[in-house]
Amino acid sequence: MSDTPFTFSIPNPGFIPSRVDNHITRRLSALRGQFLDQDAYARLLDREDTLLYAVNEIKRPAAAGELLMGVSIVHPGKVGKEFFMTKGHFHTVLDTAEVYYCLRGEGFMVMETPEGHPAVERLSPGRVLYVPPRWAHRSVCTSRQEDLVTFFTYPGNAGHDYGTIEQQGFCKLVLDTEKGIAIVDNPRWRK
């Protein structure tokens, strides 16, 4: 891996970085148990293991002084009333932060601390989100047609703890209701 300064570009439209070391895709089957409406989930999965999001990473060594970067693309769609979203995670090294910069689309970042303190912030093009150390985070795409595209960067040693969220979910859900987009308590949280 290069230890000299480097540049890359994120062309608009497309938002595929000119340098990509790792391309990750996650389909519906990777979020088993995460969506509230489990019947709707089963029906959709029965039809197709839909692509929910993709991540293009620029790799760096897993060292505290390094910064990992990438672009995440969450596609529009719903499972029941719930919008497509990422798995979400705490960082394994809990005391590490992350910065997101929204490039395209509309959505939310759903966050919470290990103590269950929630926060939900809106994402729209040009908006920067700072996720402080200790906050789990999940991106949710609420646009009907457009992808939610974000650039992110976080410390090289952060790591991903997916297990905690797989077990307890997030305390807040983002739903499409008759009255519009609603942020509601997750009735299945920590059960």
In the complex, which residues of this chain contact ligand PA5 (CB under 6 A)?
26, 55, 70, 72, 86-89, 98, 137, 139, 152, 154, 160
Q: How far is the CB of 69 from ligand PA5 (least distance, A)?
A: 9
Q: How far is the CB of 46 from Ni ion (least distance, A)?
A: 31
Instruction: Output 123 or 175, the one with its CB closest to ligand PA5.
Output: 123
Instruction: Output 108 or 180, the one with its CB closest to ligand PA5.
Output: 108
Q: How far is the CB of 180 from ligand PA5 (least distance, A)?
A: 25
C-alpha span between 154 and 39 (Å, rounded)? 36
Instruction: Output 98 or 106, the one with its CB closest to ligand PA5.
Output: 98
Q: Which residues bind Ni ion (CB under 5 A)?
A: 98
139 binds, among Ni ion, ligand PA5, none (CB under 5 to 8 A by kind): ligand PA5
Instruction: Output 70 or 107, the one with its CB closest to ligand PA5.
Output: 70
102 binds, among ligand PA5, Ni ion, none (CB under 5 to 8 A by kind): none
26 binds, among ligand PA5, Ni ion, none (CB under 5 to 8 A by kind): ligand PA5
86 binds, among Ni ion, ligand PA5, none (CB under 5 to 8 A by kind): ligand PA5
Q: And the tokens for 119?
A: 């926060």
Q: How far is the CB of 184 from ligand PA5 (least distance, A)?
A: 21
**Pair 137, 98: CB distance under 8 Å:** yes
**Pair 140, 74: CB distance under 8 Å:** yes
Q: How far is the CB of 68 from ligand PA5 (least distance, A)?
A: 7
DSSP sequence for 55-107: EEEE---S-TT-EEEEEEEEPP-EETTEEPB---BEESSTT--EEEEEEES-E
Instruction: Report the largest interatomic distance among the alpha carbons of the chain, rounded to a whole angstrom.
Output: 53
**Pair 134, 114: CB distance under 8 Å:** yes
C-alpha span between 56 and 96 (Å, rounded)? 21
**Pair 112, 23: CB distance under 8 Å:** no
Q: How far is the CB of 10 from Ni ion (least distance, A)?
A: 18
C-alpha span between 191 and 55 (Å, rounded)? 30
